[in-house]
Copies of this chain bind each other. A is one copy, B any other.
Amino acid sequence: MLPEGRSRRSGDGRRDLTAIAISCFARYGYQGTSIDRIAREAGVTKGAIYHHFRSKEDLLAAAVMDRIGEFETRVQSACRAAAPDESLRRIAEVCAQHATSEDRPRFAIKLMVESIETNDPVVEEMRGMMRRFRAFLRNIIRAGQDGALFRADADADALAALFTSAVIGAETQFYLDPKRFSLEHTLETFVDQMLDNLRLAGAAQAREGGAIRD
Q: A residues near B, CB below 8 A?
A: 27-29, 31-32, 106, 109-110, 112-114, 116-118, 123, 126-127, 130-131, 153, 155, 158-159, 161-162, 164-170, 172-173, 175-177, 180-182, 185-186, 189-190, 193-194, 196-197, 201-204, 207-208, 211
Please state the number of chain copies in the assembly. 2
Q: Given A189-B155, A197-B193, are A173 and B177 neighbors across the interface (CB < 8 Å)? A: no
**Given A118-B29, A130-B177, A166-B165, A159-B189 contact (CB < 8 Å):** yes
Contact B29 A176 (CB under 8 A): no
Contacts of A196 in B (CB 8 A): 197
Q: Which of A31, A117, A176, A201 has the most CB of B within 10 A?
A: A176
Main secondary structure of the interface of A (DSSP, over half): helix
Q: Which residues of B contact A130 (CB under 8 A)?
A: 173, 176-177, 181
Residues of B close to A204: CB separation below 8 A: 201-204
